[in-house]
A and B are shown apart, each in its own frame.
Chain A
Amino acid sequence: MQFIKTRFNYLFGSTKGLILVAIAMIAVVTAIWGMLSGPMAEMGVREIVIKLFGMDIVQAEREGRIIILYHSIAMAVVAIETYMVTGILKMKEFFKMTVRLLITVGYILTMVFGMGFAYFGHNWAFHGLYITGLSLIFFAGVLLCIALWPWDNEYYITDTDYARTKKGIDLERVAFFTTAVTTVLSALFGAVPGSFFGNGFEAFLAENIIRLPHKTTMEYSVIGHLHIMLALIAIMITLIIGRWLNFKGIWHKIAMPLMILGCIVLSLGVWGVVTPLEPVAHMIIYVGATPSMLAALFLLIWSWGKFAKEGTAHIAKPTFLQKLGAMVSDPLKFGPTWQMLFMNFTTSGIGIFMAIRLDEIFRMWPAREERIELTGHWHALSAIIATIILMYYGDMLGLKGKVRQVYGWSIIFLSDLALGAVTVFEMKRLFITEAEQQPLVNMLMYMIDFGLGFLLVLLAIVMVWRMTDLFKPKGRWTEEMTHELSQEVTK
């Protein structure tokens, strides 16, 4: 009994344990449900999985199933970010415990009963528990906002290396707070149309209606919701990485106000799609996205400069190559910001290019091609966020030496290979005709499958290692029980 109790306390009572459980849950869902589409479906694996697990797949409900699947995974990611925020920032113990309790119960209910409802017959009790889970996560979000309230003397800072007001208000905390508040409001922005369309399974995927010039308010709300939630998850992970790396100095002082401004304007722009501001909403979104992305760029500039400087501190006059070597010497710390830069090729760059040349190029192609681009670029962004989480998690595990190098570089190389190929796949019509594309498509598919497949294998190895570790009386888990992320912020 004691054996189970101590492990349970680790898994559900410590930051690293909670993160491990959530990553494991996502890994299981990804591994099983990843076999229902793409090359696995082509090879016939999908049919085997459906029979093996006794899934009830109704053709007309595909869109609804996918929406629940996305939400199940997204809620676990939101939970991971919440664990990180509550572990890395100062807050009252009551809030920390309550937020974690609510979000843990919430995402597990969402995932287990949501997937149960979507894929294993329609047990309406499961649907109720799925909604209960989402509601608990929402409530956890509200409490997190209260916990992050920055205008409390207790959280004022005096260190002038960090962005702060004259009074000492911590602007980084304000940025975390702003992101949390806008996330909660944006969740509501999706909950309303979710309830509307969920009634009677009238679910739809946004990419399927994107070309219709006249959309209802509820349809706009769905489109806005999915965009803003992913953007806010990305902003939050950027803030978390900045805190972990101990982002400070002049770049921090410029970046934090930009992050706050960007987050607010971006959210207002997205919410504006359901108001008379709709015709100019996209312009507001661009205005909001620019400072947010600049803030991430400043984190990159600061962190790369820091790695290069610290790594060559022992050399009197380091050469460019020595600086470069120092900059990339730790893939787990270099990786997150590299992935943010890489995101510009797979997501932002594609998005901007599409927006600029929409009528001349992309709307001359069939809607299905546009759907490939839309779904491709947000899958890429989601995957990039996942890799950043995995890199931070690698550091939390205390990976050192060659293992750290192999783990970090494998994540970077494999994901970038796959996502680079996804990007070329999305844009292939620019340089190859439909009739002549097959050899190129095959090559790209090999790259995607190789990259994502081995990334999942790597994740599986880590999960198996962590599971076996749990059986050891003095395993790594015992050390992780008491370690808090705030103690591990880079000096």
Chain B
Amino acid sequence: MKRFILTLSLLTALLASCTPVDLNASIPTFDTGIDPNTWAQVPAGEFYFGQHENIETTNAYEIMVTDVTAQQYADFLNAALADGYVKIDSDNVVGYYPGDTFHGIKHELEIKAGDWAYIPLNDPSQRIKFDGTSFTVQPGYENHPMTMVSWFGAWGYCEYYDYRLPSEMEWTKAARGEDERPFPWGDEILRENANFYSSRDPFENMSSFGSRTSPVGFYNGKTYDGYQTLESASPYGLYDMAGNVWQWVGDVQPQEGFSDRFMHGGSKDTYDMDLRIWVRNSAPPMYFSPGVGFRCAR
């Protein structure tokens, strides 16, 4: 009998692991009160770059207060499709990218000039839908960060509006300000500071679908249906510079032959250690994921 119960428990657990995830499970909707169309001013000057606090300098620039939202990206696609800036190629939205210089170094990918996929259309994790004529956002995700977007798609968005992706240094300075803090809001991280793995936010259910994105600017000190967040803006007032989604930065070939693009900020799927400002992730520019987004600078 004991053996039977043990076997049954193991089988149940095994079957539970095979249960498909409902990617369209209902999601709570909240208005965070943070306008994704606002920009923060970052002054010129020195700041601490990297884990070992090297002193670097940037010029003055502006950077988006939040990640680009799904709604903003859908609006871009509609305008860009009408302009012929992007087109539909099988299951992808594609756009032109002028290519990287190729050095032929070991493991280097050759990124040629041409059309590259900005976003996939038929991936079940894609929150932007295309009905053959226009792009819309899956209800509930309008103010969530745009995900499932390649570096090309992020680059293309910023270029379209005459913006650019922030460089790694600009991103760091915007997140950190001028002191040595590891997180945008300070020295320590609590669950109420950011959306990270197992942070027990209202968008997460670790026993079924796992972690999902939160609306941009969610961690602003407001209470949402009893869930109290902490004000977690960076010194320049940027939200979500740690957690929620990794953010593409604009550096191309920071080392000769390095064709990956860097990402910063950690995501809903990473432990808190990856939310430290200096932690780098990287991927080839054609990579997309439900945990990767971006914001622009100008």
Contact = CB atoms under 8 A, between A and B. Distances in A.
B105 A367 contact: no
Interface string A4-45: 000000000000000000000000000000000100011000
A201 interface: yes
B197 interface: yes
Contacts of A446: 13
A358 B106 CA distance: 11
A433 B289 CA distance: 9
Contact of A366 (B16, B17, B187, B289): B289
A434 interface: yes
B23 interface: yes
Interface in B14-33: 14, 16-21, 23
B258 A211 contact: yes
Contact of B52 (A37, A62, A200, A211): A200
Interface stretch (A72-80, A391-399, A435-443): A435-443
B72 interface: no
B211 to A, nearest CB: 8
B210 A438 contact: yes
Contacts of B35: none
B164 interface: no
**Listed residue (A63, A439, A443, A446) with the most chain B CB atoms within 10 angstroms of its CB:** A439
Interface string B71-84: 00000000000000
Interface stretch (B130-138, B154-162, B271-279): B271-279
A60 B182 contact: yes
- The B interface, classified by DSSP as helix, strand, loop or mixed, is loop
Interface string A346-386: 00000000000011000111111000000000000000000
Interface in B184-231: 187-188, 197-198, 206-211
Given A434-B269, A438-B209, A443-B16, A359 B107 contact: yes
A375 to B, nearest CB: 12
Interface of B: 13-14, 16-21, 23, 51-53, 105-109, 124-125, 180, 182-183, 187-188, 197-198, 206-211, 246, 255-258, 260, 263, 269-274, 276, 280-284, 287, 289-292
Nearest to A38: B271
Contacts of B211: 438
A212 interface: yes
Contacts of B105: 213
Contacts of A212: 255, 258
Given A42-B198, A213-B106, A366 B21 contact: no
A439 B290 contact: no
A204 B272 CA distance: 18
Nearest to B210: A438
Contacts of A208: 280
Interface of A: 37, 41-42, 59-60, 62-63, 200-202, 204, 208, 211-214, 358-359, 363-368, 433-444, 446
Nearest to A43: B198
A441 B276 CA distance: 24
B207 A442 contact: yes
13 contacts: A59-B183, A62-B273, A204-B51, A363-B260, A365-B287, A367-B283, A434-B289, A434-B290, A437-B210, A439-B21, A439-B208, A442-B207, A444-B17
B221 to A, nearest CB: 22
A214 B103 CA distance: 13
**Listed residue (A59, A200, A208, A211) with the most chain B CB atoms within 10 angstroms of its CB:** A59
A60 B51 contact: yes
A442 B21 contact: no
A213 B257 contact: yes
B77 to A, nearest CB: 21
Contact of B256 (A202, A214, A365): A214
Nearest to A46: B272
Nearest to A64: B51
Contact of A367 (B187, B257, B282, B289): B282
A202 B206 CA distance: 36
A386 B4 CA distance: 33
Contacts of A437: 21, 210
A63 B287 contact: no
Contact of B260 (A200, A202, A211): A211
A247 B134 CA distance: 73
A477 B274 CA distance: 47
A241 B264 CA distance: 46
A8 B52 CA distance: 45
Contacts of B270: 368
B124 A367 contact: no
**Listed residue (B258, B283, B292) with the most chain A CB atoms within 10 angstroms of its CB:** B283
Contact of B23 (A41, A363, A435, A444): A435
Contacts of A204: 51
B283 A213 contact: no
Contacts of B108: 213
A211 B105 CA distance: 12
